[in-house]
Chain A
């Protein structure tokens, strides 16, 4: 039951960090040019980092699954893929909210991170659709999407980066004052705790589901 305790501890710790985060963010200095909206940054950036990390977790787990068909790697891959979509929603909602205030537009094709996040999110939505609708054999199919999705990240980033030079550039000043780093790391820790707890829980759910299916199959035989 060691893992249950770990999950509970992570959830509790993460929840406590989240509960306290508004106060910590409030204590940070007020950003003069962007004002209040700058504070979205403290949720947006950690969610984005966790999203990209999760894509790599899924990609690596998928590659392992393709290589040796370990059921455990498959469970990690599906959990990580779902979390890419989940944290991606946070990123793709908070990003435009911030952009509307800071740049005056909801969507900026010139921002490489925004576009890369969208493409990555779409790839993992496709991953989930495959798992849901492709029927038998969808596990290997989805694993291939996981591997290709991970390999795609540098290409998408690079191509959007070169592509945007055709468009007016938006310069974002992202030099953080030390006082702003504290709430940033605080929220980052909260997101990482939440991510690990959700990943472990989801892997376990998938494991129970597999076991249940195996039992059903046995009864029918």
Chain B
């Protein structure tokens, strides 16, 4: 008996999470990398011992994008080492469900990064989350979903390609420009002395639309591409 769509996705995601819970390799390396990125940017954007205004939002999203790319590369590297992705694709289940499962695993890693990087940015850049926390969380969830949604598709497809490490960001960054603009601008509207909630909501609605369109496309493309 083959499991249903969401059940399959959950099994794949749980497998990733169990592997991760045992080694903790991805979480440790990715979170530490994100922290290092934030520090490097802090040295560039703190002038006369004072953080530049609006720098916090940009640094937060750049750290997320960079560490997300690293995690994507690594998670599919793991699948390639023993050809397990091929084995997964041979399983008599819906291929879109495999994509969804990998995406859930990816989002779990990225939420760990967010949980560390957001407080770090708040402390280092002296911003306040009073009254904007839920808006920021919504931006991070929708933005992360858009980024990881496109990234998981191309990470999976690049799995067996040459120069995959460099090609993933080369492809992923231009394609996720709308996510970066919306994420950074929405966050910048929140992390100021006078937060502009309606402005953040405009960006949030764009991210929701982006997610809807690109996740649908990714599900279709994944199914079409992984057919052989």
A130 lies within 8 A of B217 (CB): no
> Contacts A147-B217, A151-B214 given: A166-B170 contact, CB under 8 Å?
no
What residues of A have a CB within 8 angstroms of the CB of B181 in the complex? 159-160, 163
What residues of B have a CB within 8 angstroms of the CB of A137 in the complex? 157, 160-161
Q: How many positions in chain B have a CB within 8 Å of any CB in the partner chain?
A: 31
Q: Which residue of A lies closest to B202 (CB)?
A: A162
User: What's the least CB distance linking A185 to chain B, in Å?
Assistant: 32
What residues of A have a CB within 8 angstroms of the CB of B185 in the complex? 159, 162-163, 166
A134 lies within 8 A of B150 (CB): no
CA distance A116 to B164 in the complex (A): 26
B170 lies within 8 A of A66 (CB): no
What residues of B have a CB within 8 angstroms of the CB of A130 in the complex? 161, 167, 170-171
B221 lies within 8 A of A147 (CB): yes
CA distance A84 to B32 in the complex (A): 39
Q: Mark A160-185, 1 if CB is under 8 A from B, else 0.
A: 10110010000000000000000000
Does residue A123 face the partner (Cβ distance < 8 Å to B)?
yes
User: What's the least CB distance linking A119 to chain B, in Å?
Assistant: 5
B217 lies within 8 A of A141 (CB): no
User: What's the least CB distance linking A124 to chain B, in Å?
Assistant: 9
A66 lies within 8 A of B161 (CB): no
Does residue B81 face the partner (Cβ distance < 8 Å to A)?
no
B178 lies within 8 A of A156 (CB): yes
State which of B162, B214, B225 has its C-beta within 8 Å of the C-beta of A66. B225
State which of B170, B209, B224 has its C-beta within 8 Å of the C-beta of A67. B224
Q: How many A-B residue pairs have CB under 8 A?
A: 90
User: What's the least CB distance linking A164 to chain B, in Å?
Assistant: 10
CA distance A160 to B175 in the complex (A): 14
What residues of A have a CB within 8 angstroms of the CB of B174 in the complex? 119, 122-123, 126
A129 lies within 8 A of B170 (CB): yes
What residues of B have a CB within 8 angstroms of the CB of A103 in the complex? none
CA distance A88 to B181 in the complex (A): 22
A123 lies within 8 A of B175 (CB): yes
State which of A123, A141, A158 has its C-beta within 8 Å of the C-beta of B206. A158
Q: Which residue of A lies closest to B213 (CB)?
A: A151
B158 lies within 8 A of A148 (CB): no
Does residue A2 face the partner (Cβ distance < 8 Å to B)?
no
Which B positions have Cβ atoms within 8 angstroms of A? 150, 153-154, 157-158, 160-164, 167, 170-171, 174-175, 177-178, 181-182, 185, 202-203, 206, 209-210, 213-214, 217, 221, 224-225
Query: Can you list the 7 inter-chain pairs with the closest CB atoms, starting with the nearest?
Result: A155-B178, A135-B162, A122-B174, A134-B161, A159-B181, A123-B174, A66-B224
List 16 A-B residue pairs with CB atoms under 8 Å apart, sorted by A's residue number.
A126-B175, A130-B161, A133-B162, A134-B163, A134-B167, A136-B160, A136-B161, A137-B161, A144-B157, A145-B175, A151-B213, A151-B214, A155-B206, A155-B213, A162-B203, A163-B181
